[in-house]
Amino acid sequence: MRAVSGDLFERISYEVDARKEELIELLTKLIAFPTVSPPARNTNDVQEFIKGYLEELGFKTDKWDVYPGDPNVVGILPGEASGQYNSLIVNGHVDVAEVGDDKEWDSSPFAAHIKDSYIYGRGVADMKGGIAASLLAIKLLKELGITIKGDLQFQSVIGEEVGEAGTLACTERGYTADYAVIVDTSDLHIQGQGGVITGWITIQSKETYHDGLRRKMIHAGGGVKGASAIEKMMKIISGLQELERHWAVTKSYEGFAPGSNTINPAVIEGGRHAAFVADRCALWVTVHFYPNEDYEEIINEIEQHINAVAEADPWLRENPPQFTWGGKSMIVDRGEIFPSLEIDPEHPGIRLLAHSYEKLLGQKPTVGMSPTVTDAGWLGRAGIPTVIFGPGKLEDAHAVNEKVEIRQLLDFTKVLAAFIATWCNTRKEE
């Protein structure tokens, strides 16, 4: 093995700059795969491409369907002394956001093009730019003859745009490591994140009444102990707003604006026909919570509060709300979970990543919190120390004429290559 020498950073920096056109060509190939989600079920071809790329670099690969037509690919490059040296996961998702009306784009969303200092195309920022740069970083290390002693794992996953948790499927399959970098859109900031969970709150009447009986439900002496599920849902929404305001004044987390922990009543469905009093109403909510909170704790808080609201209402007491939380797909079961992720700035992984950044880019990185969510929380929840670190700005992700600065792609490639070479050649717990 060739040891990691003192001029590693200079060598990596020079080689990455020399391979600018190769990086652009690789990203252009990835963008040409129209892996839009929804509708999804369209990532097999790009995953075959990535699988082949990894195998050419000596990775042992595992490809399996998370959903038909949407497979994950995991590649493992075994280290020379896996038991003694740090292992690493590099993770990225291959699905991209919807395009909308492509007539609003200056050129085809799936034909990457360069203008000024940027490359344009759907997914260049979120997050095929991160995938392309990561693959090139690994290839560069191999061609420089810098081998690693700890295992390197590359996870190319599906479904992140619609909460289909391809990364969760990796953890369920048993994949783990000493550290993980999610190369998602972060503007080269090193980040953790808050969490998101969706849920359905449903009110179902035990009886169904014709519209003509409504007068007997709402006037004194009517004698019909019934109610509209839609109107009773108004009490539930009011209760959620009360809890949301309570959270806003009693909870906070550094790096988040006050009141970032929200409960959004996003969709409401109710009633069966204008000739009936509504006997059912369902509310779809989206809940944002802080990095130091777990979604199971959040579920309990909401249910306890809403059950108290229902207990104070005579009709809801007998027809209590029912709750369904999360899901593995916004497409299949209309639900999703993005666990939160706290980070420790003193963790050896963050310190080494920051060191690589500072040595190569000449400044200290920003360490903080992402205002959005990624798959990083699933790795953290599996007990893997994880950070988000990738090229691209959030304002460009999902946007018309999505773009990423080429210089930032190159800078990211340099930092990641140096980090892989040093982390995977550092003894465990050193």
Positions annotated as catalytic residues are: 95, 160
Sorted by sequence, the CB contacts under 8 Å of residue 308 that are 6+ apart come out as: 239
- Residues in contact with 7: Cβ distance below 8 Å, sequence separation at least 6, in sequence order: none
**Is there a contact between 72 and 135 (Cβ–Cβ < 8 Å)?**
no
Tokens of 364: 């200290």
The CA-based diameter of the chain, rounded to the nearest angstrom, is 90
| Alpha-carbon gap, residue 168 to 65, rounded angstroms | 13
Residue 327 token pair: 């899901």
Phi, then psi, of 9 in degrees rounded to 5: -65, -40
Judged by DSSP in three states, 160 sits in helix
CB contact at 8 A, 372 and 286: no
Q: With CA atoms as reference, report the closest residue to 127 among 168, 97, 98, 170.
A: 97
Q: Which two tokens stand for residue 50?
A: 């990535």
Phi, psi of 309 (to 5 degrees): -60, -45
Asked if residue 388 lies in contact with residue 350, where contact means CB atoms within 8 angstroms, the answer is no
322 is written with which tokens? 């029912």
Q: What are phi and psi of 369, to 5 degrees?
A: -125, 140
The separation between the first and the last C-alpha atoms of the chain, rounded to the nearest angstrom, is 20
Amino acid at 166: G
CA distances for 306 relative to 3, 14, 24, angstroms:
60, 59, 52
Which helix (DSSP H) or strand (DSSP E) does residue 244 occupy? helix 229-250
Question: Could you give the C-alpha distances from 173 to 71, 73, 90, 227, 354, in angstroms and in order?
Answer: 13, 12, 16, 48, 30
